[in-house]
């Protein structure tokens, strides 16, 4: 490359440096589902693994690039050189070196990984921890708190600063629990229970995602961990323990009746009523939910209307049938009933 071209390219260097800094700045590392922005001890430990493998790779890169550059310069073809340089095949010392060094580095990473895996595994026997049973369904999450007698869906409420044990299983196919800022991926396997734990250090919403392809609706199988102060969490538990369905208006009362007659109740449980279906998510305290359809749409009356009317048009692959045969006043009545679930 000519000197002129180098000079031309060098002019872009400051711009490139700024772009790289911008990319590597905080904005790049944060984000709702960034493993690089841990919010609890488990995610922190896992980030440690990422960092150690990253630096090992950087060091290898530097050493290999340096050797390459030296070789290119020292052994380049000189003017007037017509014969081939001496051809070398094999060198036992080098072979030994580049076998043993990567093996040692991999062993180092393996030790760290195994240690971290054991540290992150939960146990059914750990005392003083709160257990939540997590069941993956196509394409939503069921959360059961056996010690509190509470069942909810898609939004996992937990108190901050407390170790939360999860017992993960699946009702149908393989799913994977992943809340990047709190805990890494763990499979939900039908007929098997996997235990992990996590802890959220600060109150806030932590976003997660099913991380194992589980069917058409997989991309819309999201979840939220709502980490609350212990006082707020207890308040939530109190609400969930004494759910009320208070359809006061005539419209909502009509909706409640419809819910029982057109089949909604065969799939959905509603706290405070006799509806006890177990195919779809529990709708207890539905108004307390931020989102619907497994964190796919904000929980607004308009979205609820469209959902009840024709869920498959909002979430591909959804296992809730379309009720598009219903007339608008009927759907409105159902929504009025859903809006009364506190």
Binding site for Cu ion (CB under 5 A): 175, 210, 214, 221
Q: Which is nearer to ligand HEC, 168 or 336 (CB)?
A: 336
Partner in contact with 267, chosen from Cu ion, ligand HEC, none, beta carbon below 5 to 8 Å by kind: ligand HEC
Q: How far is it, in rounded angstroms, from Cα 38 to Cα 45? A: 9
Burial of 277 (0-12, 13-18, 19+ CB in 10 A): middle
Residue 319 touching ligand HEC (CB under 6 A): yes
Partner that binds at residue 190, options ligand HEC, Cu ion, none, CB closer than 5 to 8 Å by kind: none
Site string for ligand HEC, 215-254 (x = CB under 6 A): --x-------------------------------------
Contacted entry of Cu ion, ligand HEC, none for residue 217, CB cut-off 5 to 8 Å set by kind? ligand HEC
- Kindly give the pairing relationship between strand 130-137 and strand 140-145: antiparallel
Q: Which is nearer to ligand HEC, 129 or 306 (CB)?
A: 306
Beta carbons of 150 and 136 less than 8 angstroms apart: no
With CB under 6 A as the contact rule, the residue among 39, 166, 318, 341 that binds ligand HEC is 318
Q: Could you say which DSSP state residue 205 is in?
A: E
Question: Minimum Å distance from CB 117 to ligand HEC?
Answer: 31
Residue 90 to residues 69, 86, 104, 124, Cα–Cα distance (Å) = 20, 13, 22, 55
The binding track of 282-311 with respect to ligand HEC, each residue x by CB under 6 A or -, is -x-----x--xxx---------x--xx---
- Does position 338 bind ligand HEC by CB under 6 A? yes
Residue 309 interacts with, from ligand HEC, Cu ion, none (CB under 5-8 Å by kind): none
**Residue in 160, 210, 320, 341 binding ligand HEC, rule: CB under 6 A:** 320
Number of H helices and E strands in the chain, helices first, is 10, 12
Spatial contact of 109 and 143, defined as CB atoms under 8 Å apart: no
CA atoms of 279 and 24, how far apart (whole Å): 45
User: Residue 341 forms beta bridges with which residues?
Assistant: 245
The partner residues of 207 in beta bridges, in order of sequence, read 224
Measured in whole angstroms, the distance separating CA 223 from the mean position of its chain's CA atoms is 7
Q: Residue 214: which of ligand HEC, Cu ion, none does it interact with, CB under 5 to 8 A by kind?
A: Cu ion
Q: Does 333 bind ligand HEC (CB under 6 A)?
A: no
Select 155 or 165, whichever has its Cβ closest to ligand HEC. 155
Min CB(152)–ligand HEC separation in Å: 9
DSSP per position, 247-316: --SHHHHHHHHHHHHSSHHHH-B-TTSS-B--SS---TTGGG-SEETTTTEE--HHHHHHHHHHHHHHST
Beta bridge partners of 133: 144, 167
Give the footprint of ligand HEC on residues 133-192 (CB under 6 A).
139-140, 153-154
Nearer to ligand HEC, 175 or 289 (CB): 289
Q: Let me know: does 282 contact 307? Beta carbons within 8 Å.
A: no
- Least distance in angstroms from the C-beta of 285 to ligand HEC: 10
The residues that touch ligand HEC, with contacts defined as CB under 6 A, are: 139-140, 153-154, 217, 259, 262-264, 266-268, 279-281, 283, 289, 292-294, 304, 307-308, 315, 318-321, 323, 334, 338
């Amino acid at each position: 490359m000519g000197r002129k071209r180098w000079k031309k390219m060098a002019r872009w260097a400051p711009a490139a440096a700024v772009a790289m800094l911008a990319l590597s700045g905080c904005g790049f590392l944060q984000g709702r589902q960034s493993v690089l922005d841990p919010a609890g001890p488990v995610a922190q430990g896992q980030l440690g693994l990422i960092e150690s493998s990253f630096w090992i790779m950087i060091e290898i890169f530097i050493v290999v690039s340096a050797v390459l550059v030296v070789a290119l310069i020292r052994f380049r073809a000189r003017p007037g050189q017509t014969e081939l340089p001496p051809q070398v095949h094999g060198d036992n010392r080098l072979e030994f070196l580049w076998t043993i060094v990567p093996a040692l580095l991999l062993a180092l990473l393996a030790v760290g990984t195994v240690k971290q895996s054991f540290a992150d595994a939960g146990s059914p026997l750990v005392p003083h921890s709160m257990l939540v049973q997590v069941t993956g369904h196509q394409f939503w999450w069921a959360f059961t708190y056996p010690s509190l007698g509470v069942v909810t869906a898609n939004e996992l409420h937990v108190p901050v600063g407390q170790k939360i044990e999860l017992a993960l299983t699946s009702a149908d196919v393989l799913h994977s629990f992943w809340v990047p800022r709190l805990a890494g991926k763990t499979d939900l396997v039908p007929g098997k229970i996997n235990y992990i734990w996590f802890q959220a250090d600060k109150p806030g919403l932590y976003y997660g995602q099913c991380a194992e392809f589980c069917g058409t609706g997989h991309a819309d199988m999201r979840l939220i961990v709502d980490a609350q102060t212990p006082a707020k969490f207890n308040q939530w538990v109190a609400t969930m323990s004494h759910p009320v369905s208070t359809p006061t208006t005539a419209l909502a009362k009509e909706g409640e009746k419809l819910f029982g007659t057109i089949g909604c109740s065969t799939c959905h449980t509603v706290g405070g009523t006799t509806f006890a279906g177990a195919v779809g998510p529990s709708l207890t305290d539905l108004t307390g939910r931020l989102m619907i359809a497994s964190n796919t749409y904000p929980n607004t009356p308009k979205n609820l209307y469209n959902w009840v009317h024709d869920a498959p048009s909002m979430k591909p692959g959804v296992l809730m049938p379309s009720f598009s045969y219903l007339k608008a006043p009927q759907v409105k009545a159902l929504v009025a009933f859903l809006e009364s679930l506190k």
